[in-house]
A = this chain, B = another copy of it.
């Protein structure tokens, strides 16, 4: 029996690749089954199963060694970036063209990203004027898979007193996004850490104001910052 061809153009495969991409970080480290299982909300055994399938595709979509986690192959990375591009273009589109509240774009984009054609992707890109960032400040990968690496860091790694700018905000939790919006914290906003409290909360001043706002630990964990006045990371919204 020859090895049978399996269909790898599925929503599920998309999600695995995206999860590996995102968990691997910029350094593209190996990702463990457990981490994937938690991220994707499926049983660890299911992860192993799928990883073996992804690894035995031609070309392989991941490098996989038993008990050692996975990392994306070139082809896998390409596919992952395509999906990320879809996702972020959709977010920008929903936000800019359809007036979605920022905290709702993620879920809708998450569903649609798997089903839009090349043509629709191109039309959305054109309609938006070829945007480089989504409304959360995340970089939109180019058609060819290029994505300039951002040198941003988590707010939680910033010291007191530093003058900072919001690079991007995680879109994984809508409620946090809503809270940050209410406090006026969006990509490009100027921030200054007034005080770091022992419990992980912060007091920050927003946009040069003298008043200090309190930021919960979760909120701080959702904010990425950089130290130079935004040249790029400014979304059109």
How many monomers of this protein are in the complex? 2
| Stretch from A51-59, A78-86, A111-119, A153-161 that touches the partner | A111-119
Q: Taking the complex as formed, is A124 at the interface, i.e. its CB lies under 8 A from any CB of chain B?
A: yes
| Stretch from A98-106, A135-143, A187-195, A210-218 that touches the partner | A98-106
Q: Taking the complex as formed, is A97 at the interface, i.e. its CB lies under 8 A from any CB of chain B?
A: yes
Give the contacting residue for A100; candidates B94, B107, B123; CB below 8 A.
B123
Give the contacting residue for A116; candidates B112, B117, B120, B124; CB below 8 A.
B112
In whole angstroms, how far apart are the Cα atoms of A97 and B117 in the complex? 16
Q: What's the dominant secondary structure at chain A's contact region? A: helix
In whole angstroms, how far apart are the Cα atoms of A111 and B94 in the complex? 18
Scan A12-34; emit 1 where CB is below 8 A from any B CB, else 0.
00000000000000000000000
By size class, the interface of chain A is 10 to 19
Q: List residues of A whose CB falls within 8 A of some B CB.
A: 94, 97-100, 104, 107-108, 111-112, 115-117, 119-120, 123-124, 127
In whole angstroms, how far apart are the Cα atoms of A119 and B104 in the complex? 10
Measured between beta carbons, the chain B residues less than 8 angstroms from A104 are 119
Give the contacting residue for A108; candidates B94, B97, B100, B119; CB below 8 A.
B119
Give the contacting residue for A112; candidates B100, B115, B123; CB below 8 A.
B115
In whole angstroms, how far apart are the Cα atoms of A185 and B127 in the complex? 28
A97 to nearest B CB, angstroms? Answer: 7
- Whether the Cβ atoms of B112 and A98 lie closer than 8 Å is no
- Whether the Cβ atoms of B115 and A111 lie closer than 8 Å is yes
Measured between beta carbons, the chain B residues less than 8 angstroms from A112 are 112, 115-116
A120 to nearest B CB, angstroms? Answer: 6
